[in-house]
Amino acid sequence: MTPLLLFRRVAIAEAVTWALLLAGMFLKYVTDTTELGVRVFGMVHGVVFIAYCLTTVLVAVDQRWSRGRLLVGLLASIPPFFTVVFDRNAERQDVLGTSWRLQHEQPTGLVDRLVSWLLRNPLQGVLAGLVAVAALTGLALLVGPPA
């Protein structure tokens, strides 16, 4: 899977879960029918939000994004559907590659070495990503919902 394809899929998933959460909020606050949508889709959106943020950092390191572009990519996860806008803009600016740089290049620095190891060991990389998403989701649940 290329950086472009991975990023696009996670960005779209984040936007879809936003839409589901907004639908749940409509049912809860506008029609006053049920809060089940907010409970279910809120959790799903939270998990995908964390996955999007981790994917953004992974792609940013591998594709050598500037800190500013990384920050904008992360901030795009906050307003509904902006992850898709950011994805399209990043593709237009040709900063989402069709290959992983750190699968072939020698890494320099600790973060590059970590990302390189994750990319060169895909099974362990996916497992590490799932553990990171689960751990950060657990931490978010401990902290509590946004006020």
What tens digit of pLDDT does each residue of 102-138 get? 999 999 999 999 999 999 999 999 999 999 999 999 9
For residues 14-29, give the mean pLDDT. Answer: 96
User: Residue 146: which pLDDT band, with cuts at 50, 70 and 90?
Assistant: low
- At residue 7's C-alpha, the angle toward residues 72 and 9, to 5°, is 125
Q: How many structural domains compose the chain?
A: 1
Helix 36-62 to helix 3-25 angle (10° resolution) is 160
Q: What range defines the domain where residue 56 resides?
A: 3-143
Mean pLDDT (the chain) is: 96
- Given a cut of 80, whether residue 147 has pLDDT beyond it is no
Q: What is the mean pLDDT of residues 74-101?
A: 97
Q: So what's the pLDDT on residue 117? A: 97
Q: How far is CA 84 from the centre of its chain?
A: 11
What is the pTM assigned to this prediction? Answer: 0.94
At 52 the pLDDT is 98
CA–CA distances in Å: residue 22 to residues 25, 56, 146: 5, 23, 15
Q: Under a CB-based contact definition with an 8 Å cutoff, are residues 19 and 111 in contact?
A: no
Q: Is the pLDDT of residue 67 over 70?
A: yes
Q: What value does the mean pLDDT take over residues 45-66?
A: 97
